[in-house]
Amino acid sequence: MQRLKISNISRYFNDLRALSQHRTSSSVTDDLCNQVLVEGKANSRMAILNRPSALNALNTNMGAKLNKLFKAWENDPNIGFGSGRAFCAGGDIVSLYHFMNQGKLEECKDFFRTLYSFIYLLGTHLKPHVAILNGVTMGGGAGVSIPGTFRVACGKTVFATPETLIGFHPDAGASFYLSHLPGHLGEFLALTGAKLNGAEMMACGLATHYSVSEKLPLIEEELGKLVTDDPSVIEACLEKYSDLVYPDKNSVIHRIDIVDKCFGLDTVEEIIDSLESEASLINDPWCGSTLRLLKEASPLSLKVSLRSIREGRFQTFDECLVREYRMSLQGVSRLISGDFYEVSNFQILNKHV
């Protein structure tokens, strides 16, 4: 089996650091009590991720805190809706690596069970939720944002599900929401790990609203004044500060026809063959860059992820999370493949986080 390319893995972690460098600060503590902060105004509550030195990577403690908060808010008649603000680079690979290295499978189970339970709670919450996507929103970071009622993207938003690059699969509910995107865009994003900006998220439905970054404080201030649990009132507030935006001419959004033609095929091999055929017929650098992403990913992860998206298209949200939980435990068990463990080891040794 083709090995994951170290240069590609290095680029992935370097990209994360570059995208989030301006947000990190060693002056902010990462102690357990302060990893999730809460701000409350009038009828609303806001959860703020607070592990900047780890790019706000989600761990078991944060998942448990979010679960506790959102359950309490759902049952409190004085709270009309909740919101969240932060960038998030995904799940805490460092913690998972240490669990795997020490043979602590139960801790791995608890990690995924806690985070997936919160994601299910968010996706089925009885009260509206507003996610303000002010920065990197990748992997698990998307999982704790996309299932909510409203998702506000901005000029700093960077979305991706890059799990095939690290020997894993798009999880945290990704097989559900990616499979419901237009055409076969979900397969493209799941397999390549390609990034989308805020305008592209808005165009494909991953975001419900778009506002320029300078307006985000105004949105938060306005939301804090609301005394309601009526989604239409909250939406009107978001619309007030929304901006009209379109993907640029080089965006994958303008290549939906070729995405559907290639990524709608049955197997990874057919997808790659089709892209190679298109690359020989048309002079479009996009075909070459897409092929490079596919050929640098974990071959097994590509096959697993393609099947996951295809199954997710015919499953409910909770069924997708249950299946992803089982898949994730297989991924960390190393019984079938050691790709994810090897990438995590590479990250630790090179101190990328």
Residues that are catalytic? 91, 140, 163, 171
Q: Are strands 209-210 and 150-153 parallel, antiparallel or unpaired?
A: parallel
Asked if 205 and 253 count as a contact pair (C-beta separation under 8 A), the reply is no
Asked if 32 and 50 count as a contact pair (C-beta separation under 8 A), the reply is no
What b/e readout covers 80-119, taking b as 16+ CB neighbours within 10 angstroms? bbbbbbbbbbbbbbbbbbebbeeeeeebbeebbebbbbbb
Distance CA 189, CA 309 (A): 10
| Alpha-carbon 63 to chain mean position | 15
Distance CA 337, CA 169 (A): 12
Asked if 317 and 175 count as a contact pair (C-beta separation under 8 A), the reply is no
Q: Kindly state the DSSP code that residue 41 receives in the 8-state scheme.
A: E
In the numeric block, which tokens belong to residue 4? 């994951």
Per-residue DSSP letters for 192-234? H---EEHHHHHHHTS-SEE--GGGHHHHHHHHHH-----HHHH
Question: Measuring CA to CA, which residue among 113, 57, 89 is closest to residue 321?
Answer: 113
